[in-house]
Amino acid sequence: MLLTLLALGCGPGTGGGGGSGTTDTGSTTQGDPSGDSTDGPSTSPGTSTTIGEDTTAGESGETTSGLNCMPGELPDCPLDSCLQQWEFDCFGCADNRLGEVSDPLCFAIEIGCTRPRLVCGDLPSPCDRVWAMGKESVESFESDDAAICMLQSLRDGIPGQYELMFGFMGDIGLVDIDLFTDGGGTVLMQYQDSCEGCPSSGYFGRSGALPLQDAAFFDACLTNPTTESLGDCLIGLDTWVWGAPPPVDWTPPFATGECVDLEWGCPTAG
């Protein structure tokens, strides 16, 4: 499997993932033995884009169509660049042996490390989800009030977790983004495809700690907000490809796009 890395500017920080919190397997460990890892953004099924080395599936278990369909326990994916994105599929395992394969297991089979998705149950959710709706660009918001709440809360340093989505809800899903902040002026981002009917393929991305824009940026966004201005402030893409991940170097416009550290874990509110 080809692994390509995207090196984006990161400020001072440490490599590897620290921090607390749980992953999306329900365990209290940082990684998921059948989940994914963070080696970098990927641009085609089975490849990851990161700045780094090749990783392959685990050593134990059955191999089908060149894939190790039962990889067993795998290491955490290192957070070694500011932005990471993977695309993966494990159709060989799904078609020939296992039937439908869960996203975390499929990631592990293809990428070779555990999917690092955070589940931060102790963080409050100050706003309803924000959904920028449209197949190829922002056509409307599910709730303008939720979009305004998110911008106000991030500006005012309200700790919590925020959900931001964009795209069209259909057979191939949309981009579903989680943002986590302790209110100290940075956010952690993770995103994945929201496609319940696609368990044997998908994508996952994450960031290190991204500084937020200054208050003046948010004030401008909140002055006479329209669908167009909210889209510019929250998504910042003129168009996108329905069903595809965002560009590998994409960050929300309300963040600066350059990491101040590479710690990975649930922030603590307060």
β strands within 90-151, DSSP E: 118-119, 130-133, 140-141
User: Count of CB atoms within 10 A of residue 60's CB?
Assistant: 10
User: For residue 95, what pLDDT is reported?
Assistant: 63
39 in Cβ contact with 87 (< 8 Å): no
Q: What are the structural domain ranges in the chain? A: 3-234
Q: Mean pLDDT in the chain?
A: 79
Residue type for position 166:
F
Chain-centre distance for alpha carbon 117: 7
Q: Which residues of 192-214 are buried (b: 16+ CB within 10 A; e: fewer)?
A: bbbbeebbbbbbbbbbbbbbbbe
What mean pLDDT do residues 5-28 have?
39
Which among 117, 120, 116 is positioned nearest to 159, based on CA atoms?
A: 120
Cα–Cα dist 125/149, whole Å: 11
Residue 176 CB neighbour total at 10 angstroms: 18
Q: How confident is the model at residue 37 (pLDDT cuts 50, 70, 90)?
A: very low
pTM above 0.85, yes or no: no
| Residue 97: predicted pLDDT | 52
Which pLDDT score is estimated for 54?
Answer: 33
What CA–CA distance (Å, rounded) separates 156 from 191?
24
Query: Which pLDDT does position 173 carry in this prediction?
Result: 79
Q: How much is the pLDDT for 184?
A: 95
Tell which residue, 125, 69, 106, 109, has the closest CA to residue 195: 106
Q: For residue 193, which phi and psi values (nearest 5 degrees)?
A: -80, 140
CA 230 – CA 51 distance, rounded (Å): 33
pLDDT tens-digit profile of 147-174? 999 999 999 999 999 999 999 887 777 9
Amino acid 207 reads: S
Label residue 51 by pLDDT band (50, 70, 90). very low
d(CA 67, CA 56): 9
SS3 call for 156: coil
